[in-house]
Structure 1
Amino acid sequence: MERRQFLKATAAASFWLASAPAFLGAEAAGKKYRTALLGTGWWGMNILGEAMASGQCEVVALCDVDRRLLEPAAQKVQQLTGAQPKLFKDYRELLAGVKPEIVIVGTPDHWHPLMTIDAVRAGAHVYVEKPVGHTIREGRAMVKAARETGKVVQVGTHRRVSPHNVSGREFILSGKVGKIGFIRSFVHYGGGPEKPRRNVEPPPELDWDLWCGPAPKRPYNGDPKNPWSGGIHPRGFRNYLDYANGTLGDWGVHWMDQILWIMGAITGELWPRKVYSTGGRPVKGKPVLTETEQTTDAPDHQIATFEFENFTATWEHRQFAGNNAEKGENVGCYFYGTNGTFHMGWKNGWVFYPADSRAEPVRQAPQLHPPDDQNIKELWADFLDAIKTGRRPVSDIEEVHRSTNMSLLGMLSLKLGRSVVWDGRKEECVGDPEANRLLQREYRPGWQYPA
């Protein structure tokens, strides 16, 4: 997307958000979309909850490889709507048998590309959780499939519609922060050393081979009696690099997206030209993977630098020491401008600290929804409106593919141990065959990497 198109699209999104309360408060009327959820865990059910609350979606099917999650989800849908959705273990059977009009992909990261591509090719619009995928070329294949089929693909970067993020972006675009030369994004949570978990046989309710799918099949290390007890599945997968990309691939996508969403409208730059990252596991310890036990293998801290033509951005995270020594939140972005410092945060909204120390800070409180302090409601409403009108959604697959690429390039540089030069138009590392080999990965036998 060229800069003129980008500015036009973001202006349209801002106009819609200005009128969002009236739309969201309207009586549900007209068509109800046949809706299916793939991945019935915690976050998938958060999304489905907003789909049901919209009054415009009929839940016709649920899919999960773990019956311990699937069956309670079906019970909840029945309690809330009276519907009895069909239940599936294999999403391909769901797409063929039910033919939904909307598919929600709420699975672990390594499943996002295949499910999204297969769903749009089966005739469905898709709401897929971030990050777009596990590798960069998967994301490009998702964009290609969306454009070829003409289907709406909304990505779950709900901060694009969070009221304080929208007003904060408008504040920055107004010029009140001045010329921005540096952006620092970060997520800091406490933690400590990690002890290996014992590998065990997966519970009979879980198809572990299908859970791993196209990704490498590691031993199962959860508690067979308690699906929420830890290990890889269901929530721990983000720190196992076979299935996700650590904190930068999880939290980082939200803040990389904020950087491109805001600075792209100012400078026209939609990707970095050079990326370098370093980090490790000095606190958690070296990764362990044996026949009997394993640990996570994502870095417990990481720093990445993204060089743009007109500014520099950095990412940092750590999973130890918390963030009690710094003011503000433990997540967000600091935009450093000639007129002051702007903190785009989460639970405390945003704050602008003027360069003139005599001036009072400017603050905007957040407007977040339970559970989990999010704005899925607004993003789902935008998704439905995009389907009805045929426009691109505010978190369109192509834009968030570029945001995901920033995180994935940071992880790529970390694995290489050196910087990479990025051609965002061609989506390849310049003159670097070793780096380009990491833009995709081999799938397990029986699964085809998307073209």
Structure 2
Amino acid sequence: MHQQSRRQALKYLAASGVGASFVISGTKSSGQVIGANDRVRVAVAGINGRGQVHMRVYGGLKNVEIAYLIDPDSRLFASRRAAVKQQTGFTPKCVQDVREALEDRSLDAVSIAAPNHWHALMTIWSCQAGKDVYVEKPCSHNIVEGQRMVAAAQRYDRIVQHGTQWRSDPKWRDYTADIRSGKYGKLQTANIQIFRPRKSIGIRASTAPPRELDYDLWVGPAPMNPYRTNLVHYQWHWIWDYGNGELGNLGSHEFEMVRWALPEGAAPQSVVSIGGRFGYDDQGQTPNSQLTAFDFGETKLVCQQRGLDYDSPIRMAIGFQTDAGLVQGGKFYPRGKQTGESIANAPADGLPENNGVRHFQNFIDCVRSRKKEDLASDVLDGHQTAVLAHLGNTSYRLGQEVPFAKSPEGLADNQLAAESWEAMQRHLVTLGDVDLSRGRYRLGPTLRFDAATETFVDNAAANALRSRPDRARFELPEIPS
């Protein structure tokens, strides 16, 4: 072993099943300040979908070099390499395994746009290797992963930015700060709407993966399932072993904004989630229609997710109901009035503008300055936001199929949630062709949550979903205190 190169040693450790617990030694002294004129060298991990946005944005930032492109699917390398070279003049190195890039002492940061099930392990390995990290939403695939990510960023003193780009929008900062301050009254209920058409992923037989795709590496820390063409590259979002459904996908953006507007220190105390996968039969597992209600004590949160309205544009919106009226769509509607008062400089609903360029620039600025406090959304923010998605999905996954005639009792004391349930049923009849007299939906249990320990109260089944079994060679590392 002492005669082998470091790369050979890493490959040996990975093959022997102890690679994930192996701490990659740091490549730069912790806390090193990079000069304003020094080039920041970044590796982009996951280059099929969102990763292409990472490539374009970093390619347009001053003194940033895309040094590596990382993806288990080597079929992507030629076109992505050419795109980076055309934009920047630099030719990135393409590798399938993130650990190969982490060996490079001159690499400063890893930008993770890989599937959700890889977010935690890539982040932790990168922190152990002395690299800073930008990790896409949701921060983690489960609660324990998020806890380890927070611990790794602290233990190895790394800059870790969470990819909820609204955090860097000054309009959203002011808007939510005003709501938290009580400018429009005391916040009572926040109402999230995620209306995003999601078509069937179909039914595909398992087959051998393409030879250019290292499918074992793609699966990584998740359970191994047979390869299907409707799993890789994008449809993994709707499979529990790899994705977190729409609640963890687009929901992450809006959960983070609601957390900004909630009273300081507010924490979830309970959750209930209902819904189903309606309108088609396919191999997807996550709901395409879901209603989730959170209790934060004096404040409530309702999240409505619908995926069947194919003829309507995407709608991502948040309404804030206070004791004085309603804040929605950039207007304040005083209680009892139908006409809203425009809020100056209010943010627009929808996805972040310009692909979140400000957010990436904020990350690079913090890589240079080493000032974690300047991060727009650090890993702890990301973790606490992801916890909300995990709570809703845990209730849903533990639910039972019941007839629509059975009303969800967990919504009875939440007027907005009850009204949203009625609206969802009308939506399913109109757009999902659901026969409510015969149809069934999944009714999740109301779960109590201890936010201090991030555990479910007296529910072993729910606590079992806080993590997942390790897969050999991709174990989630323990982080020393």
Structure 1 spans left out of the alignment, 5+ residues: 1-27, 223-230, 288-294, 345-349
**1:362-381 matched pairs, under 5 angstroms:** 362-363=342-343, 364=345, 366=347, 373-381=353-361
Shift of 1:143: 0.3
Letter in 1 for 2:463: N
Greater shift in the superposed pair: 95-104 or 308-317: 95-104
C-alpha separation between the residues in 2 aligned to 1:35 and 1:172? 37
8 A contact 1:36–1:61 mirrored in 2: yes
Is the CA contact (8 Å cut-off) linking 2:200 and 2:280 kept in structure 1? Answer: yes
How many Å separate the matches in 1 of 2:64 and 2:90? Answer: 11
1:313 match:
301
Alignment partner, residue 443 of structure 1: 470
| CA RMSD after TM alignment | 2.5
Q: 1:369 to 1:86 in 2, by over 3 A?
A: farther
CA contact (8 A) 2:201 2:235 kept: no
Deviation at 1:157, TM superposition (A): 0.4
Q: 1:77 aligns with which of 55, 62, 84?
A: 84
Residue equivalent to 1:3: none
List per-residue Cα deviations over 1:391-430 (Å, max 9, x = no partner).
Answer: 3311110111011001001111111221221111111112
Structure 2 residue identity aligned to 1:426:
T
C-alpha distance 115-50 of structure 1, shift in aligned 2 (>3 A):
same
With over 3 angstroms needed to count, the CA separation of the structure-2 counterparts of 1:63 and 1:191, relative to structure 1, is closer
Report the counterpart of residue 119 of structure 2 in structure 1. Answer: 112
Q: Matches of residues 167-178 of structure 1 in structure 2 within 5 Å? A: 167-178=174-185
Correspondence for 1:268:
265
Q: Retained in 2: the 8 A contact 1:416–1:435?
A: yes
Residue in 2 that maps onto 1:9 = none
Measure, in 2, the Cα distance between the counterparts of 1:29 and 1:442: 43
Deviations 1:276-298 (A, max 9, x none): 1122123233x6xxxxxxx1111
Q: Answer yes or no: is 1:299 the counterpart of 2:307.
A: no
Aligned positions of 1:416-427 closer than 5 A: 416-417=398-399, 418-427=445-454
Distance 1:360 1:334, change over 3 A: closer
The question of 1:401 aligning with 2:401 is answered no
What is the deviation of 1:49? 2.2
Aligned residue number for residue 347 of structure 1 = none
Give the Cα–Cα distance (whole angstroms) in 1 for the partners of residues 219 and 80 of structure 2. 21
1:81-128 CA distance string (max 9 Å, x none): 211222111111111145511110110000000000000110111001
Alignment of 1:211-290 (within 5 A): 211-222=218-229, 231-263=230-262, 266-269=263-266, 271-285=267-281
Q: 1:342 aligns with which of 312, 317, 327?
A: 327
Give the total of aligned pairs.
Answer: 396
* Residue aligning to 1:18: none
Distance 2:209 2:186 in 1: 54
User: Secondary structure of the equivalent of 2:465?
Assistant: helix
Contact 2:175 2:347 in 1 (8 A): no
CA distance in structure 2 between the aligned counterparts of 1:368 and 1:432, rounded to whole angstroms: 37
2-structure distance, mates of 1:395, 1:167: 15
TM-score by length of 1: 0.82
Q: Deviations over 1:118-139 (max 9, x none)?
A: 0011011100101111110000
Instruction: For residue 197 of structure 1, give the secondary structure of its aligned residue in structure 2.
Output: coil
For the residue of structure 1 that corresponds to 2:218, the secondary structure is helix
Q: Distance in 2 between matches of 1:142 and 1:194?
A: 31
Q: Distance in 1 between matches of 2:198 and 2:117?
A: 25
Determine the structure 2 residue equivalent to 1:199.
206
Cα-to-partner distance string for 1:239-273 (whole Å, 9 max, x where unaligned): 1111011111111111111111221xx3421x201
After TM superposition, give the deviation of residue 202 of structure 1 in Å: 2.2
User: CA contact under 8 A between 1:241 and 1:298: conserved in structure 2?
Assistant: yes
* Gaps in structure 2 of 5+ consecutive residues: 1-34, 400-444
CA separation in 1, counterparts of 2:48 and 2:202?
26
Residue identity opposite 1:246 in structure 2: G
Partner Cα separation in structure 1 for residue 201 and residue 134 of structure 2: 34
